[in-house]
Amino acid sequence: MKCSYTDHEAFLDIVPPQPFNYKECLIFLSRSTQEVTHQVQGDEVCKLLRTQHEPKPVLLRISWEASASIIRVSFPAGIPSKSAREEAARHVWDWLDLNTPLDGFQELLRHDPVLARLPASYAGLRMIGFPDLFEALSWAVIGQQINLTFAYTLKRRFVERFGEQLIHGGQVYWLHPDCRVIAELEPAELTAFQFTGRKAEYVIGVAQAMARGELSRERLLQENRDQARETLLALRGVGAWTADYVRMKCLHHTEAFPIADVGLHNALKVLLGLPRKPSMEEIREMAVPWQGWEAYATFYLWRTLYV
């Protein structure tokens, strides 16, 4: 599906495919006050973008024009070049997963014995992810075996120490660190921020592989889905959960299924009113009808865990 937008120079109007639920996407983006790579300001989202055509990061302000059912992207810190505006449109399209037709998943939401229990208001929530592979992998590694609150604390320290910033209107906006910057670090520079030694090594190792050109999102997207999973699993520190999380949140593989995820298990327990968390075998059985949509099923079940 081609990115559909109109360039008005001072702003872009992006026409999202239906279903699209801006309110639900905004709720997802607001789920942590510790998030540092975007800021939710009322009904708007501000986000920095590193482009190939501008020497400095471009600040995007994303809003919803309900009367026209369009996403508006403006540039509060200055209008970038036409080429950079095109990059901005593609970035937002990718970030909000607007390229995935959801008709099949909509059928599951209506008729699946488990997913039909989810609130109808979730419909149109998109798999908001990470267009940048290094950001996806580093976030997944940071989040391994710790609670979400501490994961966000580590991410904030990581971004604010090694990322690039832009100050506009008294607000500080941050870019996730570039892999080339992290590739030059020693593990002690991350353990100083309460990374474990292993996590520090894993994040730096991924950064080095990307900086050398051995690993890229483009390469993974050219591989078939099984090959992409094997490529990710070959990375030190990347197990099945991390590989499947990155596939669903960065590569848009709708069949990726982080089945061992604790949040998924908790969500199913509460949604189904079970006395205990379901076993892996029970989850595999209830997920049979989700074939091809396991990633979206997981993402929507995670939605039940935050207000």
What are the structural domains, with CATH classification, of the chain? 5-99 (3.30.310.20), 133-249 (1.10.340.30), 262-303 (no CATH)
Pairing, β 11-14 against β 5-7: antiparallel
Q: What gap in Å lies between CA 125 and CA 15, rounded to an integer?
A: 15
Write b or e for each residue in 207-229: b if 16 or more Cβ atoms lie within 10 A of its Cβ, otherwise e.
Answer: bbbbbeeebebeebeeeeeeebb
SS3 138: helix
Residues 256-284 have pLDDT tens digits of 999 999 999 999 999 999 999 999 999 99
Q: To the nearest whole percent, how much of the chain has pLDDT over 90?
A: 98
Residues 184-199 have pLDDT tens digits of 999 999 999 999 999 9
The pLDDT, as a whole number, for residue 255 is: 98
* Beta-bridge mates of residue 11: 74
Q: What gap in Å lies between CA 16 and CA 267, rounded to an integer?
A: 29
Residues 26-66 have pLDDT tens digits of 999 999 999 999 999 999 999 999 999 899 999 999 999 99
SS3 45: strand
Bond prior to 19 in cis (omega within 30° of 0):
yes
**Amino acid, single-letter form, for residue 246:** V
Cα 140 to Cα 4, 38, 247, distances in angstroms: 30, 17, 11
**Amino acid, single-letter form, for residue 278:** P
SS3 255: coil
- Residue 23 near residue 44 (C-beta atoms within 8 A): no
The pLDDT, as a whole number, for residue 2 is: 83
Q: Is the pLDDT of residue 307 over 80?
A: no
Q: What gap in Å lies between CA 96 and CA 289, rounded to an integer?
A: 25
Q: Does residue 261 carry a catalytic annotation? A: yes
pTM given for the model: 0.96
Q: Is the pLDDT of residue 298 over 80?
A: yes
The pLDDT, as a whole number, for residue 23 is: 97
Q: Is the pLDDT of residue 145 over 80?
A: yes
Tokens standing for 36?
Answer: 């540092």
What's the whole-number mean pLDDT along residues 153-172? Answer: 97
What's the whole-number mean pLDDT along residues 276-299? Answer: 98
Q: What gap in Å lies between CA 289 and CA 280, rounded to an integer?
A: 16
